Amino acid sequence: MLNRSGYFNRILRQIFVFSFITTSFLSHSTGIPIGLIPYQSFFKGKVIRVLDGDTIEVLQDKKPVRVRLANIDAPEKKQAFGRWSANQLKALLVAQPVMVTYTQTDRYGRIIGRVFTTNGTEASRFMVQSGAAWVYERYNTDKSLPALQREAQEQKRGLWADPNPVPPWEWRHKSQ
């Protein structure tokens, strides 16, 4: 049985191999030089703060790095289920070592990333499964998330217990 560090390192190796194969395939099939294909970066750190249900701060090399969870949109703090959603993410991540994989930043300078715990749990999947966030359809790249959201809806988990939950993007638009 692998210890946490061994499991974490195995996941990293798998990500590297997958990234290499994907990049090589894209380069070969498109004719684009490897250096011009967006690549996936990663870092390890410890979660020091949960700002809301889809944004965290990770301490990496003694510096806080703000990370927006990829593929999801959680209720805003002042919105129904907003604090509950943030508390779900806190319970999963605060003071935990994590690995963040990412390819881009947003207009606020936050890394948009997939966050993994040492036991392999991905934070975005956890939030959708528990009914603490919506799949952000406009930006979603994980084809498995919509099915997890449907399951959470059917089971009335979290925000889906509300008969008419308001997606955060609609709530933000109405609040402006």
Tens of pLDDT along 91-106? 999 999 999 999 899 9
Structure confidence at residue 24 (pLDDT): 46
For residue 117, the SS3 value is: strand
Query: What pLDDT does residue 28 have?
Result: 45
Instruction: Kindly report the CATH number that applies to the domain delimited by 40-162.
Output: 2.40.50.90
How far is the C-alpha of 133 from the C-alpha of 1, rounded, in Å?
33
3-state class of 55 per DSSP?
A: strand
Domain with CATH 2.40.50.90 in the chain: 40-162
Residues labelled as active-site residues: 68, 76, 110
If pLDDT is split at 50, 70 and 90, which confidence band does 15 have?
Answer: low
Residue 26's SS3 state is helix
Q: Which two tokens stand for residue 134?
A: 């919506």
The proportion of the chain whose per-residue pLDDT surpasses 90, expressed as a percent, equals: 74
Q: How would residue 12 be classed by pLDDT, with cut points 50, 70 and 90?
A: low
Chain segment 50-59, per-residue pLDDT in tens: 999 999 999 9
67 vs 61: CA distance, rounded Å = 15
Q: Name residue, tokens 């390819």.
A: 103
